[in-house]
Amino acid sequence: MTTSTSRQRFRRRPDQAVAAVQLKLDTDGLRYRKWGGEQFARPGDWLVDNGGDVYTVEAESFARTYRQVGVGAYVKTAPVWAERAAQAGHVATKEGQTAYAAGDWLVSNDEDGGDAYAVSAGRFEKLYEIDE
């Protein structure tokens, strides 16, 4: 993801907690297919259930962006920077690669565009609000 002047700062809605479990297992990792590409989780990464959408989040990214609010319940408290995609494409993530359609949101945990992922337009509008 490249630096963009159209990127805005958003915050996840506080009522949108996820269920998460850290992969504290002696394993070579977990490979799975999602979002149009192969994803990979390493030991220490997190398995997240986000309202029925299940995926993994890299350990350091999860630690920086989420806080625990109950047993197995977490809320994303760090801001994100996002912009609408003008055309379809793919974005490299810490876990693999994600395909997106025109109109979806390209989201980054880092202001410079790092730690990126894509979210469908409808899901983004449900989960995030502008951070003013």
* CA within 13 Å, CB half, 51: 8
Cα(115)–Cα(25) distance, integer angstroms: 24
What confidence score (pLDDT) does residue 5 get? 60
Mean pLDDT, the chain, rounded, equals 94
Which amino acid is it at 66? Y
Is this model's pTM higher than 0.75 or not?
A: yes
CB 75 within 8 A of CB 67: yes
Cα(118)–Cα(132) distance, integer angstroms: 22
- Reported as a single tens digit per residue, the pLDDT across 84-129 is 999 999 999 999 999 999 999 999 999 999 999 999 999 999 999 9
Cα(49)–Cα(14) distance, integer angstroms: 16
